Amino acid sequence: MAEERIIDVYMVAAGQFHDIDYARVELLKLLAEHPNVRTKVATDYHDLEAIAASDFLISYTCNLVPSEHEQIALREYVMSGKRWIGLHGTNSILEFTDKGVDAPETAPILMETLGTQFIAHPPIMPFHVHITDPEHELVKGVSEFETDDELYLSRIHGDLHVLLHTHFNGNAEGFLESAWHDDEPRPLYYINKVGSGEVLYLNLGHCRGHYDMRPVVAYYPQIERGSWEKPEYYELLRRGIKYCVDRVE
């Protein structure tokens, strides 16, 4: 059997208000299903040399904002033909104010690269996941499903190729931008083409344990696993990883 090419993956898993350890371990398990994938794990985007040397990037973060220099380097990384799997809160910037949670638009280079910026979400609740492009290989054959997750309401940047969507018309209490009263589909999974590369953004996947809301709350009473409890979510993650593995030159 021919020797397989080693594929180097760079993972950034860090941030606030989520069980980052849980997500990190689950993603490493999925990456390990490819024996030729070697993964370097970091808690920030500082090592730009290692990121540039990687074949693709995957991130599960919340409120982790790279510096402007790092944002430019990440955009150039994707533009060069690389791929970035962005998960859940990678597109979030959060500021807690007396009037509610703000999502300041202070990192435009990052958000234009990712294709969206998180602005708000309603309380965690069940919602239906629709297949937007049923013929695309990333979602073909995946059944529509119900999930109990954070429904991200985002500012859209660019012309996204939407793969999954849902609908929401209501209020996101607790956020400064709380009124979301229109019937536009809310993207849940999409591809954003940037130069010769692509960002695959899947904003499902909330998870939180008892100690993940510190310092806001010392002990969070319930454990939340969101879409991580759905086999369809794991199928989407597996396909996303394979999609990137298969396109490494």
CA angle at residue 118 from 115 to 121, to 5 degrees?
140
Q: Which domain holds residue 43?
A: 7-246
pLDDT of residue 3: 79
Whole-angstrom CA distances from 187 to 3, 35, 153, 204 are 39, 32, 8, 10
If you write DSSP's letter for every residue of 132-182 in order, what string do you get?
S-TTSTTTTTPPPEEEEE---EEEE-S--EEEEEE---EE-TTBSS-EE-S
| Pairing assessment for the beta strands 197-202 and 83-87 based on DSSP bridges | parallel
Rounded to an integer, what distance in angstroms lies between the CA atom of residue 127 and that of residue 110?
28
Q: What's the structural domain count of the chain?
A: 1
The verdict on residue 134 lying in a domain is: yes
Residue segments in the chain with a per-residue pLDDT below the cut of 50: none
The verdict on residue 205 lying in a domain is: yes
Q: Cβ(206)–Cβ(199) under 8 Å? A: no
Residue 109, classified by CB atoms within 10 Å of its CB into exposed (0-12), middle (13-18) or buried (19+), is middle
Report helix angle 231-246 to 20-31, nearest 10.
Answer: 50
Q: pTM for this structure?
A: 0.98
- The secondary structure element, H or E, covering residue 15 is strand 7-15
The verdict on residue 2 lying in a domain is: no
The verdict on residue 191 lying in a domain is: yes
The verdict on residue 97 lying in a domain is: yes
Whole-angstrom CA distances from 41 to 9, 82, 114, 131 are 9, 18, 20, 31
Q: Cβ(224)–Cβ(207) under 8 Å? A: yes
Q: What is the CATH number of the domain that holds 42?
A: 3.40.50.880
The verdict on residue 1 lying in a domain is: no
| Residues paired with 202 in a beta bridge | 87, 189
